[in-house]
Amino acid sequence: MNLEHSTPELFTALAKMQGEVENATKGSLNPHFKSKYADLAEVLNTVRPVLAANGLSVIQSPSFDGAICHVTTTIAHSGGGYIYGTMSCVPAKMDGQGVGASTTYLRRYSLAAVCGVAQEDDDGQSAAHNRPAVYPLISSGEAARIRENIEALAIDEPAFLKHYGVTAVAQLTTDKIASIDKAFAIKSKASAKGGEA
């Protein structure tokens, strides 16, 4: 939380607001856990009137950099002071639905946190990810270099591809490069020793 632009008036208003606001009512159903939670609309309905009554407003700015969702939540005071903080997460799916679910989750979670509102976090499964990070495909230059090494070292290409779980060299991802280069180095040393014998 960045407090650089905060003012005593803002903190006075926040303290008053948090003394008046109630916890969000759990009204939405999470189908994964068959339990209820307070959704974003409920959190907004709970905090907005109390924020406004104390000269406070909320601004939430979402962004997505292609891998991580971010939401910056700003609480501004009518007197000019403001505080803000950013929360981030990797979406469960890299599509519009996954990014939307993560953004909504981050908005709800950060808004409730900054306003001091308790809420049960039963719906986090829709925004959380439980699979490995998605890595980009290797470049065409890397693919050409790997093919050259496969040929130069007389490596069984179908077995190589099967080992890395792909059907073509171009389908390899960047996280595999270090392992592939290590395997090439070992094969190269073995070939060199074989040639010396």
DSSP string, 104-139: HHHHHHHHHHHHT-----TTGGGT---SPPPPPBPP
116 pLDDT band, cuts 50/70/90, is confident
Q: What is the pLDDT of residue 27?
A: 41
Tell me the pLDDT of the chain averaged across its residues: 82
Q: What is the pLDDT of residue 117?
A: 79
Distance, in Å, from the CA atom of 41 to the CA atom of 116, rounded to the nearest integer, reads 16
**Tens digit of pLDDT for each residue in 41-62?**
888 888 888 899 999 999 999 9
pLDDT at 28 over 70: no
